[in-house]
Amino acid sequence: MRSEILLADDEVTFRETLAKVLREEGMAVTAVGDGMDAINAIMKQPYAVAILDIQMPGADGIKVLREIMKIRPEVRVIMITAYGTVEMAVEAIKLGACDYVMKPVMFEDILTKIRQHLRYLQLREENQELKRELSGKFDIGQIIGQTSAMQQVFEMIRKVARTKSNVLITGQSGTGKELVAHAIHSLGDRNGRRFVAINCSAIPETLLESELFGHKKGSFTSAVQDKKGLFESASDGTLFLDEIGYMPMTCQVKLLRAVEHRQIMPVGSTEPIDIDLRLIAATNRDLAEEIKRERFREDLYYRMNVVGIHLPRLRDRKEDIPLLVEHFIKKYNLEMGKQCVGVSDECLRLLMSYEWKGNIRELQNVIERAVIFAENDVIETCDIGLIGSGTIGLSEKTENLQAAVKAYEREQIYRVLNKYDWNKTEAAKVLGVGLSSLYRKIDELEIKNSP
């Protein structure tokens, strides 16, 4: 949550001293001595709290307040008033200010008020995020499958959902591990609480510990204020550690403590914090092999793998492909306003015979593209490959679906990378893949930062 403060007061000594106090508390402060400067500042960037003296040159505090309420009504405004202007402070409250302080100002009093307003904003932000999560509450029907392998997965989900046991989900990239984690959370006793996910392979080793466990102000150079980690953010809910096999050994030690003792220690702190949450992890790596190579702790593996759920590769459950195709066509019909009714027999045969190294995610991408370019209400083989712009179309240069899909993947990844100036972290988020998966695709498809 942001903690930027706008301070507007024409008394130089007071303004500079209060700004220094706030900065020492880890807050970012913009300090101005003129009402018009305050209005210009609020137009340029959002602030969490604005502190306004009622009497200022350029524009008085009431005028600045009116402008703030028009431009950024979410800002919490505290008015500074002298004894003879209390009536104006009351008027300011009616106009939208949240609080006022009397001169001479006691710094501890104004600090207390600012902390209260920042806490209010934090709670409001968390509440809005929770509402967004609950509005898109997971439906187990999103996991498609009728094969015996998938029926076993469904049964495991139902049995483990209402327990407190740690769960380790294994399977190749694109098999739907996060969907299973969502299903366990949704069907369990914590389904009204937060589901927090982190991809351990996408966070640099130097930042992962802070992201998970939080840090105290001053624990390292850029730690200008206390930060709550994801373990605390997921309190009473579920924390999903995706690609746990990529977690560095230093973090594994602290994770083991969290799992065993249900306590975490923020970076730079000596006081443990009790935690109560559901822990689910997933990996596409062979953790037994990682243990042999001393890259994953054996004791952590057994703590996390209380219940193991393995997701089969798509090529090992090809009987589910027609159901998945139907599901994705309905999904993209709805999103795009299209009316595709299905795929041709020839197209389905090709889809059934393809190797699907990218699993369900790859099939989803292919169907999305096909719905976009289908000319008729039935998807044909020619709709699967994109003609032109460096991609091979099935109807012209090849009848091999694997080559066509690879070409499409190459173009899609290259386009997204270009759009985000080759920022691979942002591109991976947009493409819906892990950062490590994106790097592998770039190498595999020989994608270079040139046409």
Instruction: Note the pLDDT of residue 280.
Output: 97
Please, what is the end-to-end C-alpha distance for the chain in angstroms? 40
CA distance 189 to 123: 23
| Contact criterion met (CB below 8 Å) for 340 and 369 | no
Mean pLDDT, rounded, of the chain: 84
CA distances 127 to 134, 194, 270, Å, are: 10, 10, 30
**All CATH 3.40.50.300 domain ranges in the chain, comma separated:** 142-312
Sign of CA dihedral 101, 102, 105, 108: negative
**Each residue's pLDDT expressed in tens, for the chain with a length of 451 residues:** 457 899 999 999 999 999 999 998 888 999 999 999 999 999 888 899 999 998 899 998 999 999 999 888 889 999 988 766 677 877 888 888 988 888 888 888 899 999 888 888 887 777 566 555 544 444 555 788 888 888 899 889 989 998 989 999 999 999 999 999 999 998 888 887 889 999 998 888 778 888 899 888 877 776 777 888 899 888 889 999 999 999 999 899 999 999 998 888 888 888 888 889 999 999 999 999 999 999 999 999 999 999 999 999 999 998 899 989 999 999 999 988 888 999 988 888 888 888 888 899 989 999 998 998 888 889 988 787 533 333 333 333 444 556 666 766 777 787 788 777 888 888 888 887 788 878 888 888 878 775 4
Name 429's Cβ contacts closer than 8 Å, sequence gap at least 6.
Answer: none
CATH architecture entry for 4-131: 3-Layer(aba) Sandwich (3.40)
Cis omega (within 30 of 0) for bond into 266: no
Find the farthest-apart pair of alpha carbons in the chain and give their distance in angstroms, rounded. 85
CATH architecture entry for 316-444: Orthogonal Bundle (1.10)
| Contact criterion met (CB below 8 Å) for 238 and 193 | yes
CA distance 420 to 443: 19
**All CATH 3.40.50.2300 domain ranges in the chain, comma separated:** 4-131
Question: In a 3-state reduction of DSSP, which class is residue 123?
Answer: helix
Instruction: Note the pLDDT of residue 391.
Output: 34
The residues that bridge with 304 in the sheet, in sequence order, are none
* CA nearest neighbour of 373 among 364, 388, 384: 384
- Estimate the crossing angle of helix 86-95 against helix 61-71, to 10 degrees: 10
Q: Where are the alpha helices (DSSP H) in 136-248?
A: 148-161, 177-187, 205-213, 230-233
| Contact criterion met (CB below 8 Å) for 28 and 5 | yes
Instruction: Note the pLDDT of residue 430.
Output: 80
Give the pLDDT confidence of 250-298 residue by residue, as tens digits.
Answer: 899 999 999 998 888 888 888 888 889 999 999 999 999 999 999 999 9
| Contact criterion met (CB below 8 Å) for 79 and 54 | yes
Instruction: Note the pLDDT of residue 121.
Output: 85
Q: Is 142-312 a CATH 3.40.50.300 domain?
A: yes
Name 4's Cβ contacts closer than 8 Å, sequence gap at least 6.
Answer: 27, 28, 29, 30, 45, 46, 47, 48
Can you say how many angstroms the Cα of residue 388 is from the centroid of all Cα atoms in its chain? 35
**All CATH 1.10.8.60 domain ranges in the chain, comma separated:** 316-444
Calculate Rg over the CA atoms of the chain.
27
Give the pLDDT confidence of 197-214 residue by residue, as tens digits.
Answer: 999 988 887 788 888 998
Name 396's Cβ contacts closer than 8 Å, sequence gap at least 6.
Answer: 387
